[in-house]
Amino acid sequence: MINKLCDKIKKTNAPIVVGLDPMLSYIPEQVQKAAFDAYGETLEGAAEAIWQYNKAIVDAVHDLIPAVKPQIAMYEQFGIEGLKAFQKTVDYCREKDLVVIGDVKRGDIGSTSAAYAVGHLGKVQVGSKTYSAFNEDFATVNPYLGTDGIKPFVDVCKEEKKGLFILVKTSNPSSGEFQDQLIDGRPLYEHVAEKVAAWGEDHMGDSYSYIGAVVGATYPEVGKILRKVMPKSFILVPGYGAQGGKASDLVHYFNEDGLGAIVNSSRGIIAAYKQEKYAQFGPENFADASRQAVLDMIEDINGALQK
Catalytic residue among 4, 105, 151, 161: 105
Size of the site for a copy of itself (CB under 8 A): 71
State which residue, 126 or 256, has the beta carbon closest to a copy of itself: 126
Site string for a copy of itself, 107-126 (x = CB under 8 A): xxxxxxx-xx-xxx---xxx
Distance CA 287, CA 278 (A): 11
Q: How do 235-237 and 129-131 pair as beta strands?
A: unpaired
Q: Which of 3, 13, 42, 248 binds a copy of itself (CB under 8 A)?
A: 42
Distance of CA 178 to the CA centre of its chain: 23
Nearest to 101 by CA among 70, 122, 75: 70
Stretch of 53-61, 141-149, 254-262, 282-290 lying at the interface with a copy of itself (CB under 8 A):
141-149
Out of 4, 34, 94, 176, point to the residue binding a copy of itself (CB under 8 A).
Answer: 176
105 as an active site residue: the answer is: yes
Angle 162-168-174 (CA atoms, 0-180°, nearest 5)? 135
User: Per residue, what are the HEC states of 155-188?
Assistant: HHHHHHCCEEEEEEECCCHHHHHHHCCEECCEEH
Exactly one of 66, 70, 149, 241 binds a copy of itself (CB under 8 A); that residue is 149
Closer Cβ to a copy of itself, 87 or 302, answer by number: 87
Least distance from C-beta 89 to a copy of itself, angstroms?
13
Q: State in angstroms the smallest separation of the CB of 270 from a copy of itself.
A: 13
H or E element in which residue 36 lies: helix 29-39
HSE-CB for 8 with a 13 A CA cutoff: 21
Pick the binder of a copy of itself from 4, 10, 12, 24 (CB under 8 A): 24
CA 40 centroid distance within chain: 31
Q: Residue from 21, 137, 160, 288 that binds a copy of itself (CB under 8 A)?
A: 21
User: Please, which residue, 22 or 205, has the CB nearer to a copy of itself?
Assistant: 22
Q: Is 128 in the site for a copy of itself (CB under 8 A)?
A: yes
**47, 79 contact by CB (below 8 A):** no
Which are the catalytic amino acids?
105
